[in-house]
Amino acid sequence: MAKPVKILVVDDDKEIAELVEIHLVGDGYEVFKAYSAKDGLAILEKEEIKLVVLDIMMPGMDGLTMCRKIREKSAIPIILLSAKSTDLDKIIGLTGGADDYVSKPFNPLELTARVKSQLRRYMELNPKATGEFTEESEVIVRQLVINKETHQVTSFGKEVRLTPIEFEILYLLASNPGRVFSTDEIFERVWNEKMYEANNTVMVHIRRIREKIEADPKNAEIIKTVWGVGYKIEK
């Protein structure tokens, strides 16, 4: 029997943490709870956590700071929880390295659905997480080498670490060289849903990808912007 996937829930509100735990355990996950960022980081050091549900507003170290610390070592999916729901707040959260953002109060069923979606993407793009490997499948475009099976990317000969969302956006563009994708199309294909602020969300991720793969992010050579249309990677 396969071991249950381990999820970390970090929220200083114990009632919310326990509510999330109840629904995730009901879906078969093993849940670890922490009521501070410091305790959450300690759990990450000890356990093979595959996804983090993280509150932004916490005393001491806030969720955004913890998110950045996680990204220094890991590409596991991070879903932020916040009572703030403006586009700017979501952009700040995504810029910090998060993969998804859920506003409080939230429907637990929506949260668990997003957890499943993020885990599915992570497992598919990072077979090391499950211990399963298939025949290597590489996409090579310009200075990029992308291996879909091992979730490895090299740019200008240097290996770069991408989150699952960043990887899927880059793989979509690189697998279709020369084709222009609108922000709405990128969002629908990668997140598998429609969203009214898709443009801002995609722009944030494109900027983060450029910072990691471009020799000079201000003078993008790989991901090109087609003004008023979208983004593409040339052959």
Give the whole-angstrom CA distance, residue 203 versus residue 164. Answer: 16
Residue 194: CB partners within 8 Å, gap ≥ 6?
A: 184, 187, 188
Q: 235 falls in which pLDDT band (50, 70, 90)? A: confident
Res 135: pLDDT:
38
Whether the predicted pLDDT of 131 surpasses 60: no
Res 134: pLDDT:
39
Whether the predicted pLDDT of 31 surpasses 70: yes
Mean of the pLDDT values across residues 148-163? 85
Mean of the pLDDT values across residues 55-80? 90
Res 12: pLDDT:
94
Res 85: pLDDT:
61
Res 184: pLDDT:
87
Give the range with max mean pLDDT: 128-132, 146-150, 179-183. Answer: 179-183
Mean of the pLDDT values across residues 141-158? 85
Res 87: pLDDT:
58
Give the whole-angstrom CA distance, residue 77 versus residue 173. Answer: 21
Pair 55, 101: CB distance under 8 Å: no
Higher per-residue pLDDT: 184 or 89: 184
The two beta strands, 100-103 and 78-82, are parallel
For the segment 158-216, what is each residue's pLDDT rounded down to a tens digit? 889 888 889 999 999 998 888 999 988 898 888 776 655 667 888 889 999 999 998 88
Res 18: pLDDT:
94
Mean of the pLDDT values across residues 93-109? 82
Give the whole-angstrom CA distance, residue 62 versus residue 27. Answer: 28
Res 130: pLDDT:
47
- Chain mean pLDDT for the chain: 84
For the segment 19-30, what is each residue's pLDDT rounded down to a tens digit? 999 999 988 899
Res 96: pLDDT:
72
Which range, of 45-49, 59-63, 130-134, averages the lowest pLDDT?
Answer: 130-134
